[in-house]
Amino acid sequence: MTEGNFADYVKIHATSGKGGKGSVHLHREKFITKGGPDGGDGGRGGHVILRANKNMWTLIHLKFNKHFKAEHGGHGSKSRSTGKDGADVYIDVPLGTIIRDVETNEVLFEITSDGEEAILEEGGKGGLGNWNFKSSTNQTPRYAQPGIDGKENWYQLELKLLADVGLVGFPNAGKSTLLSVITAAKPKIADYAFTTLKPNLGIVKYRDHRSFVMADIPGIIEGAAEGKGLGHRFLRHIERNSTLLFLIPADSDDINKEYDILLNELKKHNPELLDKERLLVISKSDMLDEELKDEIKKELPTTISHLFISSVAQIGLTELKDQLWKMLTE
């Protein structure tokens, strides 16, 4: 999935169908001149329904197709025939989609399991035909109910990526390079900050045909939790990752300080993020000899496990996958 094909925020307009009107009909046939009322009910208007699709990773398909309108219900007819229900409209969305009301910003529901369905707008109920109103005092009612109107509203859809491992780090820490080396993903890579402006996903193949999903979250900067840069849009994707991989380059001025800043930004955004499994990975370690590694190890935080890797030189990647798989399965 390329950066240009990724969208994690869209607004859509949903309109459900109007219910069909009930029929006003009196039964007539040869030799039966006064058969009584037999007008049927109107059909239900179509719903607008969101449906989870595990094969989708983006909301890009909704970027330029924002309006969804369900079919109206059919009208009732004679012989108590009920009108046809209006066809429902289905909107497929990836797992991890959050739906908000545009007016109130209230979260209405979240889509998290494949095949899950949620009615965004219910179709209007069909009106009752005149046979429903027959009584001992009114043998031939000549009225029926109209169908109930459909509903419409604007909705905001946000995507929080559902990945097993989320890469956390400052811009230009080597996250995209790591993802490109251990998965088939092809993120944009260059030697300047904020190369990645949108998350990238890749599937890491592991032993015995097993695999897990890794997400390259765009780089965090200090102040991201307050919305600096594109902070909020970046940080929300981290919420759904079960394990966080903190990536800090070996040539960093102060690895401990960088780790503390990253941890603090996550805490300010959502303190629950600190309950997730964490692994500290020192990238670009092909420039280090054993003596330098030993010096760096002495300064690393003792509250988190660490590994030294080099994506370019393919150093430590097998150990990294082993460690991540162990964290995910335990």
Q: What is the pLDDT of residue 175?
A: 82
Q: What is the pLDDT of residue 189?
A: 43
In angstroms, the CA 173 to CA 285 distance is 12
pLDDT tens sequence across 166-191: 888 887 778 888 888 888 655 444 44
In angstroms, the CA 237 to CA 234 distance is 6
- Please work out, in degrees rounded to the nearest 5, the angle formed at the alpha carbon of residue 206 by the alpha carbons of 205 and 208: 115
Domains of the chain: 1-159 (2.70.210.12), 165-329 (3.40.50.300)
Of the given ranges (46-50, 84-88, 136-140, 223-227), which has the lowest mean pLDDT? 223-227
Q: Regarding predicted confidence, which is higher, 288 or 76?
A: 76
Strand order through the sheet with 117-121: 89-93, 48-52, 117-121
Q: Regarding predicted confidence, which is higher, 162 or 69?
A: 69
pLDDT tens sequence across 71-126: 999 999 998 999 999 999 999 998 889 999 998 889 998 898 889 999 999 999 99
Q: Residue 2's pLDDT band (boundaries 50, 70, 90)?
A: very low
Question: Which of these, 231, 12, 215, lies nearest to 96 by C-alpha position?
Answer: 215
- pLDDT higher than threshold 80 for residue 144: yes
pLDDT tens sequence across 14-58: 999 999 999 999 887 777 767 789 999 999 999 999 999 988 878
In angstroms, the CA 51 to CA 65 distance is 16
Stretch 209-231: mean pLDDT, rounded? 62
Stretch 203-217: mean pLDDT, rounded? 82
In angstroms, the CA 32 to CA 293 distance is 100
Residues 6+ apart with CB under 8 A from 6: 57, 58, 60, 198, 199, 200
- pLDDT higher than threshold 50 for residue 196: no
In angstroms, the CA 123 to CA 152 distance is 10
Contact by Cβ (8 Å): 86, 17:
yes
Contact by Cβ (8 Å): 1, 57:
yes
Q: What is the pLDDT of residue 58?
A: 81
Stretch 202-222: mean pLDDT, rounded? 76
Q: Residue 220's pLDDT band (boundaries 50, 70, 90)?
A: low
- pLDDT higher than threshold 80 for residue 252: yes
Helices and strands (H, E) in the chain, number of each type: 5, 14
Question: Which of these, 27, 64, 20, 26, lies nearest to 44 by C-alpha position?
Answer: 20
Q: What is the pLDDT of residue 48?
A: 97
* Beta-ladder partners of 306: 280
Q: Regarding predicted confidence, which is higher, 8 or 310?
A: 310
Contact by Cβ (8 Å): 273, 266:
yes
- pLDDT higher than threshold 60 for residue 195: no
What radius of gyration, in Å, describes the C-alpha atoms of the chain?
29
Burial tier of 129 (Cβ tally within 10 Å: 0-12, 13-18, 19+): buried
Q: What is the pLDDT of residue 180?
A: 85
- pLDDT higher than threshold 50 for residue 259: yes
Contact by Cβ (8 Å): 323, 329:
no
In angstroms, the CA 304 to CA 280 distance is 7
Backbone angles phi, psi at 118, to 5 degrees: -140, 130
Cα–Cα distances (Å) from 94 to 61, 97, 186, 280, in that order, read: 11, 6, 20, 29
Q: What is the pLDDT of residue 237?
A: 66
Of the given ranges (172-181, 188-197, 201-210), which has the lowest mean pLDDT? 188-197
Q: What is the pLDDT of residue 267?
A: 85
